[in-house]
Amino acid sequence: MPERPRTERTQTERPMIEIKSVTRSYGAFKALDDASLTIKEGEFFSLLGPSGCGKTTLLRMIAGFDNPTSGSISVDGQSMEGIPANRRPTNMVFQSYAIFPHLNVEQNVAYGLKRLKLAGPEEKRRVEEALAQVSLTGLGKRLATELSGGQRQRVALARALVMRPKVLLLDEPLSALDKKLREQMQVELRRLQQAVGITFVLVTHDQYEALAMSDRIAVMFGGRIAQVASPKEIYQRPVNRQVADFLGGMNFVKAEIVEENGASLVVDTLGFGRIKTDKPKAFVRNGGAATLGIRPERLRVLWDNATAKFEVAGKVVERHYFGEITHLIVEIPGLEKPLSVTETNDFGADDIPVGTSIRLAYDPEALVAMAD
């Protein structure tokens, strides 16, 4: 494996991984269906989706553990066809960590270096450096069986990073950790990626993990890529209801298209009245109906006599307390489904009695049109 110069964060526009209409079939079942994707150099890229959506299959094909039925994958401009896993410029952090149980931490980290036939001190230096990167200095002599889950995860990371791969593949690396450690590792992983500047490809089913760490996310369903965009774009402007739902709560509102032109749509809704909204890029008109969505936290309770330019009135029918926030279910006359509203508790949203009539403020920009 060629040595990669150690540079600071190098996110460029240069494509690092190019996936061109890759399909992977198992008999009649298509685990991956005509997926195309370009991952840029130095990018932290996430493949997000529910289990069975094909994200792990795609990752394993990049690593070389599986081969596309059709289509092509190239890494750093070089086609990966016929190149076995051991000769690819990629390294993987496995979901189970796959720490060699018969070796200690140092030997695990040095495993891949043995083939490079480095001089003894150089090998030792690189192992030390990798252990320091993941804050495991001093634990080199421990056996894998003597480590905690979080430490094993760090060993797996160091073992892959020490190889200085062009691409680091992470298969649900945080799923086995408890919540607190997981959140800590999210921050650390992101920081580490920025420091080493290697392209990271992360597979996860946890939308918060993907949102918190990635430069860009590909959301996948049933073997197909539904949307590729930045975390903010994915969250705020999901292309369809499925993506919107997977990324968190979303209120869907039925609308009637009044006017459609180049970049915008004018629609009539029963609860929100007439709204002008951006037209999504891939908007396909399906008769005269459209679906709008608004996230629960984009609706704000209006207190006392406060007014807003855009508001809807309704009645609280349910209240759920979540510590720092409260979920209110608010019935709006004319809307077939009540709206779900997330309000922080600093103004006493947790004290609003069920049955109260309230008014909600919203920004019409937060109402986004999407495919069904």
Q: Which residues bind other proteins (CB under 8 A)?
A: 1, 63-65, 84-87, 90-92, 94, 96, 98, 100-103, 107, 111-112, 115, 159-160, 163
The residue (of 140 and 293) whose beta carbon lies closer to other proteins is: 140
> What is the smallest separation between the CB atom of 100 and other proteins, expressed in angstroms?
6
> What is the smallest separation between the CB atom of 192 and other proteins, expressed in angstroms?
19
Among 203, 132, 201, 119, which Cα is nearest to 162's?
132
The residue (of 103 and 181) whose beta carbon lies closer to other proteins is: 103
The residue (of 115 and 274) whose beta carbon lies closer to other proteins is: 115
Among 10, 5, 24, 8, which Cα is nearest to 69's?
24
* Element containing residue 236 per DSSP (H, E): helix 231-236
Q: How far is CA 56 from CA 12, 64, 173, 202, 309, in A?
A: 25, 12, 12, 9, 47
> What is the smallest separation between the CB atom of 221 and other proteins, expressed in angstroms?
26
Q: How far is CA 130 from CA 127, 187, 352, in A?
A: 5, 18, 53
Beta strand ranges found along 247-288 (DSSP E): 251-261, 264-269, 273-278
Helix, strand, coil percentages (3-state) for the chain, rounded to 5, are 25, 35, 35
Q: How many Å apart are CA 234 and CA 218, to the nearest integer?
A: 9
> What is the smallest separation between the CB atom of 146 and other proteins, expressed in angstroms?
16
The residue (of 77 and 101) whose beta carbon lies closer to other proteins is: 101
The residue (of 111 and 208) whose beta carbon lies closer to other proteins is: 111
> What is the smallest separation between the CB atom of 43 and other proteins, expressed in angstroms?
21
Q: How many Å apart are CA 48 and CA 40, to the nearest integer?
A: 17
* Element containing residue 158 per DSSP (H, E): helix 149-161
> What is the smallest separation between the CB atom of 14 and other proteins, expressed in angstroms?
24
The residue (of 158 and 341) whose beta carbon lies closer to other proteins is: 158
How do strand 199-204 and strand 167-171 relate by DSSP bridges? parallel
> What is the smallest separation between the CB atom of 158 and other proteins, expressed in angstroms?
12
The residue (of 3 and 304) whose beta carbon lies closer to other proteins is: 3
